[in-house]
Amino acid sequence: MAQCNNCKHNWSWSYSFKKLFTFKDEVYCPSCKSAQYVSKKARNHMSMVAMVPMLICFLLITFSVPPNVVIVIELIGYILVSLSLPYFYKLSNEKEYFF
């Protein structure tokens, strides 16, 4: 889970979850109000995790699972992924770029 690099405050799951879906680089610590940035590593991990349901979908299609079943599994997969993303949320004091 995310921890502030400034005051070492551990962010709650719900706060991290909310911040995840604002899609902003800059997020503010609820405790010390300092600007924090999502670390490069965390972004990489989260994008990998987000791809898991897609891979499962390809597998299911390969094994000729009916499309309505695939859709239901996909929906559940994406919900589970969204709920687990705050656990991969890590912060950094400085803005890190992809390249």
Question: What is the spatial distance between Cα 22 and Cα 29, in angstroms, rounded to a whole number?
Answer: 14
Nearest alpha-carbon partner for 4 in 88, 95, 92 = 92
Q: Looking at 30-38, 43-51, 59-67, 91-99, which segment touches Zn ion (CB under 5 A)?
A: 30-38
Which member of 2, 20, 27, 29 binds Zn ion (CB under 5 A)?
29
Candidates 3, 13, 17, 31; binder of Zn ion (CB under 5 A) is 31
Quick note: the x/- pattern for Zn ion over 35-64, rule CB under 5 A, is: ------------------------------
Ranges of beta strands (E only) in the chain are 26-28, 35-38, 91-92
